A = this chain, B = another copy of it.
Amino acid sequence: MTRPFNFSAGPAAIPEEVLTQAAAEMLDWHGSGMGVMEMSHRGKEFLSIYAQTKADFRALMAVPPEFKILFMQGGGLGENAIVPLNLSRGGKIDCVVTGSWSQKSQKEARKYAQVHIAASTEASGYTRLPDPASWDLSSDANYVHICSNETIDGIEFQTLPDLQALGSKAPLVVDFSSHVASRPVDWSKIGLAFGGAQKNLGPAGLTVVVVREDLLGHALDICPSAFNYETVADNQSMYNTPPTFAIYIAGLTFQWLKHQTEGDLHGIAAMEQRNIAKAELLYSAIDQSQLYFNKVDADCRSRMNVPFFLRDESRNDAFLEGAKARGLLQLKGHKSVGGMRASIYNAMPLAGVQALVDYMHAFEKSQA
């Protein structure tokens, strides 16, 4: 039986191979007599899973040795507080607002830091990215925050800003929750990156934080110990009990990613090529249609989250019902934006996007 195609924005589709292996090992992991959920996080079985998962992420994402990889809890919204608690030093930070997520981040950061909005596209309705050359960066910011892929608005930085070239000495903080592992990352431009796992890495309840070592050790006194990056790093992400099963599923996902190929490419490079092909297929179907449209400037459209609208919104429910009948699930847009949204993360094959495009054509034709 073919599984339906699941376009959820997160929690989102997991590769079938990952789920199959997790099911097979549920009661007995590698002859240990225990399922992964039942293992002490300090036992040799789980420690081996943890070490492999961390090493695989480092290798896949080419994370340089001067960065620590932390497995935490609380998701992106948790990090909106945890980042300024650890990095703001109670002083100034620069925020670039390009959609719903970076908007939430700057609001939360105001509890702990003096927030300066270096650029915002709110007035445009979040349909474009502000040119970095125009950003009003502070000379004394402790960091600059961006969201490199806005899940709700469907906007993605195609290249990260080079803060040094823009005259800022601050480290760049990147919320890459919804496109992590979909493309290579230029770590030379980054001080810290964080992402909830539930889009491209695994299940909800795990947050991956990648932080340059020199940024550790400056947390505010009011930072909870469980969310102090230095404490978490010093304890190998086991200061508090980590979300062990979520880490295991992320690890299986990394194994799956390692084995993906496109021509001569493998791993993240292969995923990027596949993701480009998926996004081009979907956006060109939208752009060529009379019924569907997308509001985002072409040069910053997200490869992962594709919001689109029907020109006749009264047909929304019919569109969704027909999609579901064809096994195309969770296409309803975010409540704050409306319309439709197709999230086409790594686990979505090209065949799934093709099935969606075929359905969109057929639906449009049936409306004529």
Binding site for B on A (CB under 8 A): 3-4, 6, 8-14, 16, 19-20, 22-24, 26-28, 33-35, 37-41, 43, 73-78, 80-82, 85, 108, 111-112, 196, 198, 202-206, 221-222, 224-227, 239-246, 249, 327, 329-330
Contacts and interface: CB of A to CB of B under 8 A. Distances in A.
Given A23-B27, A205-B246, 7 more contacts: A3-B28, A6-B34, A11-B244, A20-B27, A198-B241, A198-B244, A245-B245
A225 B105 CA distance: 11
Contacts of A222: 111-112, 222
22 contacts: A6-B34, A8-B40, A14-B37, A19-B26, A19-B37, A20-B26, A20-B27, A37-B204, A37-B249, A43-B330, A73-B73, A74-B240, A77-B225, A82-B224, A85-B224, A108-B225, A204-B241, A204-B245, A222-B222, A224-B227, A243-B246, A245-B245
Contacts of A327: 33
Contacts of A27: 3, 16, 19-20, 23
Contacts of A39: 8, 11
Contacts of A111: 221-222, 224
Give the dominant DSSP class at A's interface: loop
A6 B204 contact: no
Query: Residue among A35, A204, A242, A246 with the most chain B CB within 10 A?
Result: A204
Nearest to A243: B205
A100 to B, nearest CB: 14
Contacts of A19: 26-27, 35, 37
A225 B80 contact: yes
Contacts of A240: 74-78
A14 B33 CA distance: 12
Contacts of A9: 40
A50 B314 CA distance: 31
